[in-house]
Chains A and B, each alone.
Chain A
Amino acid sequence: MDIDNRELVARAKDGDRQAFDKLVKENKDKMFALTLRMTGDREAALDLTQDSFLTAYKEIGSFRGEAGFSSWLYRIASNKALNYLKRKKILSFIPLTEKTSDSVSYEMPEYVDGELLNKELALAVNSLPPKQKLVFNLRFYEQLPFGEIAAILNKSESTVKTNYQKAIEKLRKKLEGFR
């Protein structure tokens, strides 16, 4: 954590709202990208990002500064995203509305590029098991080192590496099948 960031966190811990708002502004894009890639739903991603910052505000007193502030935020957002997916999965088993036979149980993120291969790949990424998807997103798109991801998820580094490799293997097979 750089000195400026550390100072902001210290001020936010003392109840300085401006410092906290600055931390929000600095981290909003990363948190939104992660939650959007995890949920595939823009509205849900906005809610989860907002909720993650609210939790951070309430719990900032317990942040010890051993890891970076953004890692701590990633941890909060990751847990919220995983809980969201869990809830959504449970709800999908409750027949509230009739589903069409070919509907998928997850939503597609609104990727800018709409080519068929990209759609297939986006579908493959979305259909990864939640934990693999989280590890994949944190590593591939957020480009975090395995050690940091392990700390965020409270898992061993080897578990995280295995999850990532499994995700990559699934995507590689998907791409192979498409060609």
Chain B
Amino acid sequence: MDCGTFKNKISQSVGSLFLDVDEKIHLEQCDQCRNFYEEYVSLEKELNGLTIEPLSAVEFASMQQKLDENINRYNRRAISFYNLFTRYGAGLVAVGFLFFVSLWSGFEYGVYYSEHDIQSETYYLADYGDESSDEDETINDEYIELLLYDYTQNNGYNSGDLLLGDLTQDEFDFLENNLDLGDIL
């Protein structure tokens, strides 16, 4: 038996240590291991002397009371959540359903009309005024450039289709006469 194995066995043991014959012989022959063993036994004895005062009945009663309060509070919360859900669950499901329906209705040809469209319109109206008042607006290259910029910035992919759908006849005529639509859109 080597000293390392013996010391490992000792330092991992707790309580009464069982030594087999080989270990007993080693202990008698090896001074270093004997010292280690004696020190360990002494340490164990000292550590066993470090007793703590156990939980008293009064302390337990106070702890139990606090535990009961916390458990009751937890149960009340769980029950109230359950009640809330059963009472308003149907309403919540209906609201959720309506929300999804409203989202779904925003899809057309695979393009999602998000708030960008609204923003686009807002910018457009802010920049160029209401369509009904566009009669005085001169349609020129700058006008078209701004219009295209607005649509591509706010709608990204498929902005061409959107633009074509929204153009007034005057705007369309201008584009047809002045620009190569294939290159732009």
Contacts and interface: CB of A to CB of B under 8 A. Distances in A.
Interface of A: 17, 21, 24, 28-29, 32-33, 36-37, 42, 46, 49-50, 53-54, 57-58, 109-113, 117-118, 121-122, 125, 139-140, 143, 146, 161, 164-165, 168-169, 171-172, 175-176
Contacts of A118: 46, 49-50
Contacts of B67: 24, 50, 53-54, 57
Contact of A175 (B11, B42, B50): B42
Given A146-B12, A172-B43, A29 B54 contact: yes
B74 A113 contact: no
Interface stretch (B56-64, B120-128, B138-146, B162-170): B56-64
B172 to A, nearest CB: 66
Contacts of A121: 46-47, 50
B71 interface: yes
Contacts of B42: 175
B74 A57 contact: yes
B14 interface: yes
Nearest to A146: B12
Given A46-B59, A50-B63, A165-B12, A112 B53 contact: yes
Contacts of A57: 67, 71, 74
B3 to A, nearest CB: 14
A113 B50 contact: yes
A143 B14 contact: yes
B55 A29 contact: yes
Nearest to B44: A140
22 contacts: A24-B67, A28-B55, A33-B55, A46-B59, A50-B67, A54-B67, A54-B74, A57-B71, A58-B74, A109-B52, A112-B51, A121-B46, A121-B47, A121-B50, A125-B50, A139-B14, A146-B12, A164-B11, A165-B11, A168-B43, A169-B11, A175-B39
B66 interface: yes
B110 to A, nearest CB: 44
Q: Nearest 10 A-B pairs (CB), nearest first?
A: A32-B55, A50-B63, A168-B11, A54-B70, A165-B11, A112-B51, A50-B67, A111-B50, A50-B66, A113-B49
Contacts of A54: 67, 70-71, 74
B46 A117 contact: yes
B43 to A, nearest CB: 5
A140 B14 contact: yes
B43 A161 contact: no
Interface in B1-48: 8, 11-12, 14-15, 39-40, 42-43, 46-47
B46 A175 contact: yes
Nearest to A161: B12
Contacts of A140: 14, 47
A141 B74 CA distance: 33
Contacts of A164: 11-12
A111 B53 CA distance: 7
Contact of B15 (A110, A143, A168): A143
Contacts of B47: 121, 125, 140, 171
Given A50-B67, A57-B74, A161-B12, A111 B51 contact: yes
